[in-house]
Every structure is written in structure tokens, then in C-alpha cells.
Amino acid sequence: MNDIQKVYFIGIGGIGMSALARYFNGRNVAVFGYDKTATTLTKKLVEEGMMIHYEDDISQIPKGIDLVVYTPAIPDDHRELNYFRNQNFPLKKRAEVLGMISRTQKTIAIAGTHGKTTTTSILTHVLREGGIDCTAFLGGIANNFSSNYVEGKSDWVVVEADEYDRSFLHLHPEIAVILSMDADHLDIYGADEAVKNGFRIFGSQVKDHGKLLVNQKWITEYLKKNKVQGNVKTYGLELGDFYATNIKVVDGYFVFDFKSKMADIINLQFNLPGHHNIENATAAIAVALGLGVSAEAIRRSLVSFKGIKRRFEIIYRDEKVVYIDDYAHHPSELRAAIHAARVLFPTKKIIGVFQPHLFSRTRDFLTGFGEVLSTLDEVILLDIYPARELPIAGVDAQAIYKLITNDAKVLTTKQDLLELLANKDLEVLMTLGAGDIDTLVLPIKEQLIHG
């Protein structure tokens, strides 16, 4: 790693890839890359000194590249990727490089089908406020850092352990957290049990002297095929070795008590809404306490935590309307986001705009999407965002639409959405999804401001 002077990223604009690019850039390595489209994030990377182009064009690859990093989302027929393969360049997946980096430092790895980015960001903020100057690779733009990468000077590094493509199996952490083990990425794993077994293997890779923290809701499933149990602790709501209790909403904030054998911390105030985020905070507190962070630093950091872009992010709010944007793209994530909105705004009508992400995920969770979207007061459904996938016969937004039992539903396009919203009496509006629905956030906000 110390000999690398020029690194090239194929898919540099991805949230995980850009964090790695920032890591190398911060170490005075010349960073070059390709991405399909220019985004706010890629423009920021260019401002930070990286060279990026947006055509699959071999002639734009500079000479003297020491390492090529690519994401599994890049198609196999990509010309630049195949050029590097054919010329025998050192070629690594993002997860492999993250694994290489983590082996040089003491690693805290946060895994789970939901909540990784939030928990990783909370923990990073709590540790740094508590005097542990950790490095962090985040799966979103944390508002406290205005970045998805945080440079630290201590031996500790906090990483988001992604189960997609079994990426997290490149990690061998000192401390690991498993937040959830729901079925997801079945295009990779094939079946629910294979997903769970991936998490079991990940947990078994914690170093011998290390610690594993598992959500109480999943501990029975996790231990089903694991013989070693000594280093496993649990956390949760009302149950676990570390747990939150007395949860309530006070003046628009969630307040709760944290209980454990290590410490009890009473009346913690937290800015993020939803019981799922109290769970995430509880996991972060448990790890921080184990590393010696004080109760007072934990209290202070929870109050000052500003959240993550596209994680229940309140984009606009006035006396009439609240507009929330959320990355939720799995039925469980949608359920958590909608429930959080119900708790915060119990008397208001909630309209949700949902863009399904991936044909395979839509196929695998069709019934779940229909059920959870039916809990909204009104549903606006967009076409599927395909990302890396080709269409699947019979799988489209219409298939979800038919399963939504709420009569207040409409199927529309991104192009027609603004006009549709302009004619609605909005109270709470949510945009939901992991595709390119985020490109509509600013136009929606501007329309709300100017009427």
C-alpha cells in the first residue's frame, strides 16, 4: 500500500468508492477515475484534486497506474475494466482494498441489512467526541463531517461492512456489530438462509480477542449454526446485555435510558426519529463504552449528532408542510421510515413517493412492498430504477401497484412528478428509494419554497 503513487477507480462516484478515493487522496496519492455521470459528489471529488471523466474511454486512462479499484456494479463488458484485465494491472474490488486497509489498523466493522450507515456514523461521532480520533469509511454523507470519509490519527478505523457481493468477508475486525440479517441481495445469495450464513461467517471472523455485538432480535438465528459464543453480547430495545428503555418523544426529540452492567445513562436525548434509530444508537453506545468513552461524552455526542444525507433527512419544513427524504429501498427500511414519520406527525396525512430499486429486489420482495406502501395515506409510485440490472419479464412498478390495497395511489414518472405534487394538499411528503430519486429532492424543495 505504501508504494502506490497512482490509483484509478472505475465507478468512483459510488458512496463506498468515493470514500476510498478520499483515503488515497489524503495520503498524497494521485487519484483518477471514471463514472457514468457527473454528480454533486463527483464534482466535490474534482474540487478536492481528483481527475474524473465520464466516458468509457481507454484513451483517458493515464500512464503509470499502480492500482485499479472497481465496484461489482460495473458491467462485465465495460471497456476500461477489460483493458485493465487484459493488461494484467493490479485489479482489486473495493472490499478487498478496504480489507487491506483494515488489516493495518484496529477495525470496528458494522454489518447488517439495515442501519449500517446510521450506526457507523453515530459511532464515529461518539468516538471522536469521546477522545478516540478514529478514521471512518461511511456509506453516506454524515452531516457532522460533510463527508463519507473521516481521517483520524488513532489506531482505530470504523468501517461499514457491506454484505453485497459478500464484501464483508474481507474483514477480520477487533469489534463487530450485526444489526440485522434480513433477506436481501438474493441475486447474489440465492436464498434467505445463505444471507444469514454470510453474517454468521462474518461474525466468526472477529479476531480471537475481539468482541461481537448482535441485535437481540437476531441472536437466536445467529447462534443457530455457531458453536463459539463466548465473545458474543447482545443489544436491543428492552432486552439484551445493552438495552434502551423508557423511550418517549419530548418536544420533538426522542429521549431514552441506556442500561447495562457497564453503565446506566439516563435521559439521553437523540435527534434521529424512530425506534430503529434508538436501537442503532444503543449499539454505538455499547461499543463506545467498551472503548472507554465517558457517559458524559456519549450524552453530548448524541445531542449534537446531525444525521446523514438521505436518512430520514428533513429537507423542508414550515407551518403547513414537512418534506422528508429517505434512502429506504427494502420493505423493512420503508416500514421503519414510515413508522418514524407516524410517531413524529401522528395527526398529519403522509404521502410517500417511492422509486423501486433493482428488478431483482422488486421481484424478491413484491408482496412486502405492496404491504408496507399500503400503510401510507397516499402512494405515488415511480418506475423501477434498474442500476446494474437488465429488465426481468413481468417485474415492473405496475406489479407493486396492483398489490397496494390503499385506493389513494398513482403510478407516474419522474418527469411528471413535480406537476402532480403541485396539485396536492401536502402535509407530510416523503421521497423514498435508493435510485436516482435524489435528483428530484432539490426541485421538490424549490417548488415547496416558491409555491
CATH of the domain at 65: 3.40.50.720
Answer yes or no: is 100 within a domain. Answer: no
* Residues constituting the chain: 451
Domain boundary among 304, 336, 361: 304
Average pLDDT, integer, range 104-133 = 95
Checking if the pLDDT of 187 tops 80, the result is no
433: phi > 0 → left, psi -120 to 50 → alpha, else beta; which?
A: left
Q: Is residue 372 part of a domain?
A: yes
- Whether residue 211 sits in one domain with residue 134: yes
54 pLDDT more than 90? yes
Strand partners, 70: 10, 93
Residue 69 lies in a domain: yes
Judge if 377 and 395 occupy the same domain.
Answer: yes
**Domains contained in the chain, number:** 3
98 inside domain = no
pTM reported for the whole predicted model: 0.82
β-pairing verdict for 313-317 and 265-270: unpaired
In a domain, 1, yes or no: no
Shared-domain flag, residues 163 and 218? yes
Same structural domain for residues 79 and 207?
no
User: 127 pLDDT exceeds 90?
Assistant: yes
Shared domain for 241 and 349, answered yes or no, is no
Percent of the chain with pLDDT over 90: 76
Judge if 85 and 188 occupy the same domain. Answer: no
Question: How far apart are the C-alpha atoms of 333 and 398, rounded to whole Å?
Answer: 21
The pLDDT confidence band at residue 230, using thresholds 50, 70 and 90, is low
Residue 249 CA to residue 243 CA, distance in Å, equals 18
Give me the CATH number covering residue 368: 3.90.190.20
pLDDT over threshold 70, residue 397: yes
DSSP line for 139-178: EEEETTTTEEEE--SSSEEEEEE--GGGGGGG---SEEEE
pLDDT tens-digit profile of 5-26? 999 999 999 889 999 999 999 9
Mean pLDDT of the chain, nearest integer: 92
Q: What is the pLDDT of residue 266?
A: 97
Q: Do 322 and 280 reside in the same domain of the chain?
A: no
Cβ atoms of residues 166 and 188 within 8 Å? yes
Domain final residue pick, 274, 304, 334: 304
The yes-or-no verdict on residue 359 having pLDDT over 60 is: yes
Residues 109 and 211 in one domain: yes
CATH number of the domain to which 238 belongs: 3.40.1190.10
Compute the average pLDDT of residues 94-121. Answer: 92
Q: What pLDDT digit, counting tens, does each position of 288-341 carry?
A: 999 999 999 999 999 999 999 888 899 999 989 999 999 999 999 999 999 989
Q: What pLDDT was estimated at residue 278?
A: 96
266 and 318 share a domain?
no
Give yes or no: residues 197 and 79 share one domain.
no
> How is the chain split among helix, strand and coil, in percent rounded to 5?
35, 25, 40
At residue 185 the predicted structure's pLDDT band, cuts being 50, 70 and 90, is: low
In a domain, 368, yes or no: yes
Q: How many other C-beta atoms can be found within 10 angstroms of the C-beta atom of residue 371?
A: 16
Q: Residue 62 sits in which domain range?
A: 6-93
Average pLDDT of the segment spanning 425-434: 96
Per-residue pLDDT band for 168 (boundaries 50, 70, 90) equals confident
* Residue 379 pLDDT: 98
Residue 28 belongs to a domain:
yes
Where does the pLDDT of residue 190 fall: very low under 50, low under 70, confident under 90, or very high at 90 and above?
low
Residues 184 and 272 in one domain: yes
What pLDDT shows up at residue 184? Answer: 66
Which class for 312: exposed (0-12), middle (13-18), buried (19 or more C-beta within 10 A)?
Answer: buried
**Does 228 score more than 60 pLDDT?**
no
- Regarding whether 231 and 128 lie in a shared domain, the answer is yes
Question: What are the catalytic residues?
Answer: 116-117, 160
User: Which residues, listed in sequence order, are joined to residue 258 by a DSSP beta bridge?
Assistant: 244, 265
Domain closes at, from 59, 93, 127 = 93
Task: Give CA separation, 204 vs 97, 119, 156, 212, 330, in Å.
Answer: 21, 21, 20, 9, 26
Cα separation, 243 vs 38, whole angstroms: 43
Confidence of residue 182 (pLDDT cuts 50, 70, 90): confident
What is the average pLDDT across 364-368? 95
Choose the weakest-confidence range: 227-231, 237-241, 311-315, 374-378.
227-231
